Structure 1
Amino acid sequence: MPPSGGSRSYRQLYRRLVKRLAYSLYDIVAIGASLAISLILRMNGHIPPAMLEGMFDSLPVFLISGLVVLQFSGIYNRVWRLASLPDLVRLVEAAVFAVVVPVCVLLIASRARWMPTSVPIIQCFVLMALLAGGRMWQAILRQKIRRLHMPRVGRAAHTDMVASQQRALIVGRPEYVEGVLRHLELVPLPPYLPVGILDVDSPEAHLRLRGVSILGGIDALEHAVDALTAHNMRPTCIILAAGPDGLTGPAKLKLVTTAQTLNLSVLRAPAATEIDHPLDLERINLADLLDRPQTELDPAVVSRAIQGQRVLITGAGGTIGRELARQVARFEPSELLLLDCGEFNLYSVEMELRENYPQISCRAILCSIRQRQHVMAVFAEFSPAFVFHAAALKHVPLVETNVCAGVQTNVMGTRNVADAAKRFGVRAMVQVSTDKAVNPVGVMGATKRLGELYCQALDLEGAGRPSSPRFMTVRFGNVLGSSGSLIPLFQRQLDRRAPLTVTHPEITRYFMTVHEAVQLILHSTARAMEFGLKRGRIIVLDMGEPVKIIDIARRMIRLAGLVPERDVPIKIVGLRPGEKLYEELFDERETQLPSDLAGVFEAEPVPVPLPTLQVGFDRLLDHVLAHDQEQVRDELFDMLEKVTRSPVKDRPIDLAEARGATLPAVHLGQVSWPAKGAVGQTH
């Protein structure tokens, strides 16, 4: 009987003694059972009487010697419900000596003649299994009891509790990942539900660790998220469990940047020696780069618009186009048409969707939007209901030196897609635009501005006819982590420990994640179709305040575990051709309006008549076909100046006039137009 009314220490001592006695009794039974089982296995169940008699005579030696060995091995001083690899190694050593010592005693005493040579070897393995099983049952039983008691909270309550959990993708080395998983298993309802593992040491997939699948290496982050999303298990966060050394430098920066573009928060788990209840996770993200919370929009409105519809995405192999394809696929369109002129990018996005969304009908169309007849043939064959126009040339310096290519894609290509959408009666076309289209000073911004004006003119042309197609423009800033953008450039420079290049110490930009950008595109479509967005308006995401590029460079250096200017210098290289010091989201002559959609603004630009644009586009096309770069540049900015300037300032515009009447040019703000034959200057 335990000492009644004793102190807590006496009760604890009593429990330890009882537990040790229970383990000792179990181990005595295990030693005897292992000897009998090994002999039965060796003799295939037919034990001669002499051998059986020898076993019983030797049994006391095995029991006494084995128990003494186990007592001195230290296996009674370990917490077996939280067993680790060193614990199991010690148990194996104890089992081996618990067999070897009595066998040596019998050999010295010449009492081992009855024993076949292989029996001690078999007994070692049997005893290991019995000793381990007797110590692991607590953890197994604990899990079973937790599952049995789970329904008692009620099915609805349990569903609510599970819904409150964050799905976590755990990234790190297996030995540290295992510690995090074990910790989460000990909590009755952990705040994080592990849905997959990425191994930073090995890219090998299709293995499991404590029941959780290893989905590949650290470079497989995007693929793993897509695969989990397709199974309705999209993670909401990443838990980084890389150990005391951690994941540092460019590898860590790449992980956090990629996670940011996938709208995943990153949490750092403490080293295994630091793990204590509750699990203390430190948040790591690029929120400081955005300096604002990310915008989350209601998916229900998008589902009502897209589900069961045929959807066409141009530029499907690009950063925006690929994310569009992923998000659209989740809303179960009747068919997803992927159009791109890049063979490899188109193949990649098609394979990704076929693997992750096998239930979605998906078709890859190799086509350039510059090829008008080919574009018309695609629309004639498939008759899409919604068109997301993401195909564009976006790299400012490249478009600045390849003017004809920029005009062919961003102006003529947009006209081709929009005309096809009008001719074949799509429900809505959404054009992806950029803040560089506001008061453009370079070729890229100017071409995107003409694309905006053309879509606006087509949208206004259908006013008064509810069945006419909608043509909408979505305008946003720089996309974090997109191909050819700022963040990947800084990553490559950090990989080489080269100076981070910034064009000007005061240059600022608006930033958003690709997840936000695509949400904006989808919601602009859904809102226009369901809530009747007024024709001719541009939708703009509220991206907070612009961020200094030099501040982003410093923060990225610190995120990589380095010190700016000491470990990695920052080099000012001067503004590039066609680059502005400050970007704007609204022109001074655009009416900025609030939106019913949270985190979104609407802009109402002064429209330009469709015939005026058609005539200007035809002149541009003539110069492009002649491949006269300078003439194309001159004509591009001359056209913008004519259609956006007016001697009559602040003159109200009539919609009927915008749909076809002769319209005086309208002033759209103080823009530093490039001189003929010169590159764009900074605004």
Structure 2
Amino acid sequence: MKKLNDAFRALYRGDNLLKMTELRYLPRWLVIVIDVLIVFFSIFLAYFFLKKLNIRVNFASYSLQKRIIIITVNILFMFVFKTYAGIIRHSTFFDFFKILLASGSTLFTLLLINYCFELSVGTSLYLYPSLFLYFFISVSIMFFFRIFTKQFFNMLMDIKGNASKIRVAVVGVGDVSVSLARAIVHNPSYPYQLAGFLTNRSDSNRALLLGHKIYNQEQIVKNQHLIKQFDAVLIIKEIMTKSDLEEWMTFALDRGLKVLKAPSLSKMRDTDLVGGIRQLQIEDLLNRKPIKIENEEVKRRHFEKNVLVTGGAGSIGSEIVRQVAQFAPSLIVVLDQAESPLYELELELLEKFPEQDFKFILADISNSYRLEKVFETYGFSMVYHAAAYKHVPIIEDNPHEAVFVNILGTKNVALLSKKYKVNRFVMVSTDKAVNPTNVMGASKRAAELFVQSLQNSEGNITKFITTRFGNVLGSNGSVIPHFRRQIEKGGPVTITHPDIIRYFMTIPEACELVLQAGTMGNGAEIYVFDMGEPVKILDLAKRMIKLSGYTPDIDIKITFVGLRPGEKLYEELLSNNTTTIPTHHDKIMISKDPYMSFEDIDLLVIQIIKAAVKRNKLEVVRILKNIVPEFISNNSEFELLDHQKSEDLISEDI
């Protein structure tokens, strides 16, 4: 009652919109009063029509009593079917159905009364046409009242909410674009308002879609004021080519508009489309085609098997765990030395996969005694070795730590896989292992050589497989999260060199290919992945700044800090003296790299571990250069070892 009084008081004072929208629903007593007034009006209207048609009613002297009977019967059935109980502003077909039931029951009762009266007196109390006429009039007006109230409140809510909503222009006029626009219109609770459509076509200028205009780029370029109607453009990535995506992104950002991305239409229900709208991210602009993996073969390798993932709490390892969990293995052992990330992953996985059996083990892979107990206890069928140190500058300063984890740790896991007859051992390597210029890359190449050598070692039945790929988007320490943090702080965005380029792949995509490669081959293969086109880091930074709503070098500065120790301008997936062999999967190739015998690589690994124990940096790197002859240091203190090696070779020639 108080809300209603406030609403009417607002009408008088002029603060109409605010107070009327605060009225959540009409009180039930008011709905009953209005419905009774509708009944009165319907009776009057029915008799008015009869009078205009010059039709004489029966028992005209008892017209008041006859009307009271109609009103009483109708009110009775209103209470029986509770036509007043629904919230008018949210009326549905069910509410209309209750009105039909109440009015239909009223009509049936009045017809019955009329028939009984006719049997007893010989003349009917009401004219039969007048009862049917009353029925249709009353139902129509009650239904109209509810529809009008619903639309009135919706209009008020739209007027109130649109001021704070983002006005979006949907790109495209096809079926998918129209479906998305319709979802925005039908979801008033979301913070978006459809403001029109954008297209490159010129044949739709005068057409309307869902009551909104269609604009093309040429119109907006000629009439810049048109852009003021929009706050953002909404892009559907799945129906666009890479060039179209970049064209519309540039068009929007150059005019100060936000760029929003619709969710994947194949994965989202219509009711979730609007809620899944997100701001376009730099990852979307790489526009890599989705990877298709052969799930049946991958599932067969993991179904009801025990699986170990080392480095399981890292960005790559954790995604491998998530994907393996979908194939219902008997047990997944997640091993990592990082305590907090391991615990956080445990909480996530137990919630996400409540039926899957997990074991979370805190351990260092350089401790072979600790590892052996794990292998002895669980009897693994598949081992994914993702544990590694990967930060180039830090490892350049601490080469002995790279030996302990990347080389000794790999040796421990690989030898135990052989000893306990693991079916397949899959190592996650990096493109930095190809013609390495830093300790991290060289240590991974040494690990590759050791793993390869085990394939033909005495008594081995395990298939040893290596996978090699470039940078992964969003992984720990990767460039995109780093740039994002710098932009959020207002800059500057720091880049090592204006010409530096990198290959990029998403974490799920990389892990899908790791799982796929793990089912292929006979062992000793190094699988390299199709990384697509390389990306210039300077262009990447500029795009990220624009997507954040800033202008490069004006709002956010870009500074060049020089190559870090061990860093090179471009990464390679293949060394100079290798060839590739295609596989049945178009995204996976085999790299035919040189390899070493187990005896030779094992002897060198023992030497480098001894040097690492003594913390002799120069000796560690010198032995590493013997293991990996193509390792030429760049922008590093270890360049002197390369100079010494060159001088020694010259002396030998003389």
Q: TM-score, with normalisation over the residues of structure 2?
A: 0.59
1:430 aligned residue: 426
CA contact (8 A) 1:268 1:283 kept: no
1:657 aligned residue: none
Which amino acid is the alignment partner of residue 638 of structure 1?
N
Summarize deviations over 1:457-505 as a string: whole Å, max 9, x none.
112437xx8x810111110000101111101111110111121111011
SS at match of 2:360: strand
State the alpha-carbon separation in 1 of the partners of residues 444 and 504 from structure 2.
18
Which amino acid is the alignment partner of residue 130 of structure 1?
Y
Which of 125, 133, 145 is the equivalent residue of 2:87?
133
Whether 1:267 and 2:267 are equivalent positions in the alignment is: no
Whether 1:318 and 2:314 are equivalent positions in the alignment is: yes
1:501 aligned residue: 494
Structure 2 counterparts to residues 664-675 of structure 1, below 5 A: none
Structure 2 counterparts to residues 124-163 of structure 1, below 5 A: 130=84, 133-134=87-88, 136-138=90-92
CA contact (8 A) 2:608 2:623 kept: yes
2:286 aligned residue: 290
Which of 507, 513, 516 is the equivalent residue of 1:520?
513
CA contact (8 A) 1:442 1:679 kept: no
Whether 1:393 and 2:389 are equivalent positions in the alignment is: yes
State the alpha-carbon separation in 1 of the partners of residues 564 and 457 from structure 2.
38
The percent of aligned pairs where both chains have the same amino acid is 35
1:468 aligned residue: 461
CA contact (8 A) 1:442 1:680 kept: no
Distance 1:340 1:283, change over 3 A: closer
Which of 478, 484, 504 is the equivalent residue of 2:477?
484
2:375 aligned residue: 379
Which of 353, 360, 366 is the equivalent residue of 1:364?
360
Which of 523, 535, 549 is the equivalent residue of 1:561?
549
Which amino acid is the alignment partner of residue 490 of structure 2?
R
Distance 1:268 1:615, change over 3 A: closer
Distance 1:350 1:282, change over 3 A: closer
CA contact (8 A) 2:28 2:85 kept: no
The alpha-carbon deviation at position 630 of structure 1 amounts to 2.0
The alpha-carbon deviation at position 535 of structure 1 amounts to 3.2
Q: CA RMSD in A?
A: 4.5
Structure 2 counterparts to residues 91-240 of structure 1, below 5 A: 92=26, 130=84, 133-134=87-88, 136-138=90-92
Which of 89, 96, 101 is the equivalent residue of 2:23?
89
Structure 1 spans left out of the alignment, 5+ residues: 1-33, 35-65, 79-83, 101-127, 145-172, 180-186, 202-242, 249-264, 270-274, 642-667
Distance 1:610 1:90, change over 3 A: closer
Distance 1:141 1:307, change over 3 A: farther
CA contact (8 A) 1:536 1:607 kept: no
2:616 aligned residue: 628
State the alpha-carbon separation in 2 of the partners of residues 142 and 455 from structure 1.
73
Which of 350, 367, 372 is the equivalent residue of 1:354?
350
Whether 1:301 and 2:294 are equivalent positions in the alignment is: no
CA contact (8 A) 1:504 1:572 kept: yes
Which of 519, 533, 551 is the equivalent residue of 1:545?
533
2:406 aligned residue: 410
SS at match of 1:364: strand
State the alpha-carbon separation in 1 of the partners of residues 382 and 634 from structure 2.
36
1:24 aligned residue: none
Whether 1:618 and 2:606 are equivalent positions in the alignment is: yes
State the alpha-carbon separation in 1 of the partners of residues 569 and 30 from structure 2.
74
Distance 1:543 1:98, change over 3 A: same
CA contact (8 A) 2:438 2:633 kept: no
The alpha-carbon deviation at position 281 of structure 1 amounts to 7.6
Summarize deviations over 1:222-247 as a string: whole Å, max 9, x none.
xxxxxxxxxxxxxxxxxxxxx98789
1:113 aligned residue: none
Distance 1:331 1:140, change over 3 A: farther
Summarize deviations over 1:506-557 as a string: whole Å, max 9, x none.
100000000011101111112x2xxxx1432211110112111111101111
Which of 591, 597, 605 is the equivalent residue of 1:609?
597
Which of 416, 426, 444 is the equivalent residue of 1:420?
416
State the alpha-carbon separation in 1 of the partners of residues 557 and 440 from structure 2.
30
SS at match of 1:130: coil
Please identify, of 630-639 and 480-489, the stretch whose mean Cα deviation from structure 2 is larger: 630-639
Distance 1:557 1:359, change over 3 A: same
Which of 597, 622, 630 is the equivalent residue of 2:585?
597
The alpha-carbon deviation at position 622 of structure 1 amounts to 0.7
The alpha-carbon deviation at position 95 of structure 1 amounts to 7.9
State the alpha-carbon separation in 1 of the partners of residues 376 and 263 from structure 2.
52
Which amino acid is the alignment partner of residue 461 of structure 1?
S
The alpha-carbon deviation at position 289 of structure 1 amounts to 4.7
SS at match of 1:311: strand
Which amino acid is the alignment partner of residue 356 of structure 1?
K
Distance 1:679 1:289, change over 3 A: farther
State the alpha-carbon separation in 1 of the partners of residues 391 and 319 from structure 2.
19
State the alpha-carbon separation in 2 of the partners of residues 328 and 176 from structure 1.
42
Distance 1:353 1:90, change over 3 A: closer
State the alpha-carbon separation in 2 of the partners of residues 329 and 633 from structure 1.
39
Distance 1:673 1:564, change over 3 A: closer
The alpha-carbon deviation at position 456 of structure 1 amounts to 1.2
SS at match of 2:309: strand
Structure 2 spans left out of the alignment, 5+ residues: 35-81, 99-161, 169-175, 192-228, 235-259, 265-269, 643-654
Summarize deviations over 1:256-313 as a string: whole Å, max 9, x none.
xxxxxxxxx94189xxxxx9xx989898343565353242323222111111100000
The alpha-carbon deviation at position 378 of structure 1 amounts to 1.1
Summarize deviations over 1:138-175 as a string: whole Å, max 9, x none.
3657999xxxxxxxxxxxxxxxxxxxxxxxxxxxx9x9
The alpha-carbon deviation at position 88 of structure 1 amounts to 7.1
2:565 aligned residue: 577
CA contact (8 A) 1:458 1:610 kept: yes
Which amino acid is the alignment partner of residue 512 of structure 2?
Q
The alpha-carbon deviation at position 677 of structure 1 amounts to 3.9
State the alpha-carbon separation in 1 of the partners of residues 182 and 372 from structure 2.
48
State the alpha-carbon separation in 2 of the partners of residues 193 and 445 from structure 1.
52
Whether 1:335 and 2:331 are equivalent positions in the alignment is: yes
The alpha-carbon deviation at position 135 of structure 1 amounts to 5.1
State the alpha-carbon separation in 1 of the partners of residues 471 and 426 from structure 2.
18
Distance 1:674 1:554, change over 3 A: closer
How many residue pairs get aligned? The number is 438
State the alpha-carbon separation in 2 of the partners of residues 282 and 437 from structure 1.
37
SS at match of 2:262: strand
CA contact (8 A) 1:329 1:357 kept: yes
State the alpha-carbon separation in 2 of the partners of residues 143 and 534 from structure 1.
69
CA contact (8 A) 2:310 2:385 kept: yes
Q: TM-score, with normalisation over the residues of structure 1?
A: 0.57
Higher alpha-carbon Rg? 2
Distance 1:448 1:139, change over 3 A: farther
SS at match of 1:577: coil
